[in-house]
Amino acid sequence: MNFEQSIVVSAPRQFLFSLTQDYSRRLDWDPFLRSADLIDGATCANVGVRALCVTHTGLSMETEYISFAPPRVAAVKMTSGPWILARFAGSWRFEEISPFETRILFEYHIEARLLRWLLTPIVGWIFARDTCKRLAALKEAVESGRTLRGGPLSGPGDRIETIR
């Protein structure tokens, strides 16, 4: 099952790409995750780098970057994950609408391990719902200039202007 979610955020494409792919800042805006870490000593995302993310419900997924082309696209595939998933792959695409406005598109492919005909649409619906919430949280965090944890979103060199 494939699905796509998108949102327009009032911020530059490069800023949004950098923010979303920086695992040291991921929890600043992503309410879905309890932890998000690059593994095996990696310090930044790139092709071949693996990441481990754990949701608030305790489900974990390890992914590997298969594409990384700042500031346009980052894509991952699951290397290990929750028992219910046979396959997972996803991409983040960043389309510049104007210098201070970007469309972010999440494209996912999900396949359940068992009873695919029944569980894949259900799991896909859950992922789509959660992805919509994550994108809304990202938009809110960026456009308000605050993180979910209450501190400033932008640091030195990350100054952004928003257009309302």
User: Where do the domains of the chain lie?
Assistant: 2-144
Q: Is 42 helix (H, G, I), strand (E, B) or coil?
A: coil
Q: Class assignment of domain 2-144?
A: alpha beta
Please tell me the predicted confidence (pLDDT) of residue 154: 55
Containing 127, the helix (H) or strand (E) segment is helix 116-144
Please tell me the predicted confidence (pLDDT) of residue 146: 75
pLDDT band at 109 (very low <50, low <70, confident <90, very high): very high
Please tell me the predicted confidence (pLDDT) of residue 48: 98
Can you list the positions of beta strands (E) in the chain? 2-9, 33-38, 50-55, 60-69, 73-80, 85-98, 101-112
Higher pLDDT, 136 or 163: 136
Q: Tell me how far apart the alpha carbons of residues 21 and 33 are, in angstroms, rounded to a whole number.
A: 14
Residue 158 scores a pLDDT above 90: no
Burial class of residue 154 (count of CB atoms within 10 Å of its CB; 0-12, 13-18, 19+): middle
Q: What is the dihedral of CA 27, 132, 92, 22, to 10 degrees?
A: -10
Please give the share of the chain, as a percent, with pLDDT higher than 70.
89
Residue 52 scores a pLDDT above 60: yes
Nearest CA to 38 out of 48, 28, 29 is that of 48
Containing 130, the helix (H) or strand (E) segment is helix 116-144
Please tell me the predicted confidence (pLDDT) of residue 159: 44
Contact between 120 and 18 (Cβ < 8 Å): no
pTM: 0.88
CA distance to 72, 108, 163, per residue, from 91 (Å) = 10, 7, 26
